[in-house]
Amino acid sequence: MTINYSERIPNNVDLANDRTLQRALEHWQPRFQDWWREMGPSDFAAADVYLRTATGVDAQGWATYGTVKMPDYRWGIFLAEPVPERTIGFGDNFGQPAWQQVPGELRSQFRRIIVTQGDTEPASVEQQHLLGHSCPSLYDLRNLFQVNVEEGRHLWAMVYLLHAYFGRDGREEAEELLTRHSGDVDKPRILGTFNEPISDWLSFFMFTYFTDRDGKFQLKSLAESGFDPLSRTCRFMLTEEAHHMFVGESGVMRIVQRGCEVMKELGTDDPQMIRAHGAIDLPTIQRYMNFWFTSSMDLFGSEVSSNAASSFANGVKGRPDEGQYQDHVCTEAIYELETPQGKESVSLRNAMNEVMRSSYIKDCEIGVKRWNMQIQRAGFDFRLALPSSRFRRSIGVWADVPSNPQGYSISPEEHEKRLPDWMPSETDRAFVRSVMQRVVEPGKMAGWIAPPDRGINNLAVDYEYVRLRE
> Which one, 91 or 229, has the nearer CB to Fe ion?
229
DSSP 10-31: -BSS-GGG-HHHHHHHHHHHHH
- Residue number with CB closer to Fe ion (52 or 244): 244
Closer residue to Fe ion in complex, CB, 79/274: 79
| CB nearer Fe ion, residue 309 or residue 456 | 456
Strands 342-347, 334-339: pairing is: antiparallel
Where do contacts with Fe ion occur on this chain (CB under 5 A)?
A: 121, 151, 154, 212, 241, 244
- State how far Cα 286 lies from the chain centre: 20
Measure the CA angle with vertex 368, ends 286 and 63; round to 5°: 115
Q: Judge whether 434 and 266 are in contact, CB under 8 Å.
A: no
- Nearest distance, CB of residue 273 and Fe ion, angstroms: 36
Shortest spacing between CB 60 and Fe ion, in angstroms: 23
* 38, 283, 433 from 137: Cα distances, Å: 24, 24, 16
Residue with Cβ nearer Fe ion (146 or 310): 146
The burial of 123, by beta-carbon neighbours within 10 Å (0-12 exposed, 13-18 middle, 19 or more buried), is given as: buried
Please identify, using beta-carbon distances, which residue of 153 and 390 lies nearer to Fe ion.
Answer: 153
Tell me the C-alpha distance between 147 and 128, whole Å. Answer: 10
CB of 152 to Fe ion, least distance (A): 9
Rounded distance, CA 245 to CA 247, Å? 5
- CB-wise, 140 or 241, nearer to Fe ion? 241
- Closest separation between CB of residue 146 and Fe ion, Å? 10
126 contacts: CB under 8 Å, gap ≥ 6 = 39, 181, 182, 183, 189
48-53 and 466-467 beta bridge pairing: antiparallel
Tell me the closest approach of the beta carbon of residue 151 to Fe ion, in angstroms. Answer: 5
CB of 355 to Fe ion, least distance (A): 22
Asked if 146 contacts 243 with a C-beta cutoff of 8 angstroms, the reply is: yes
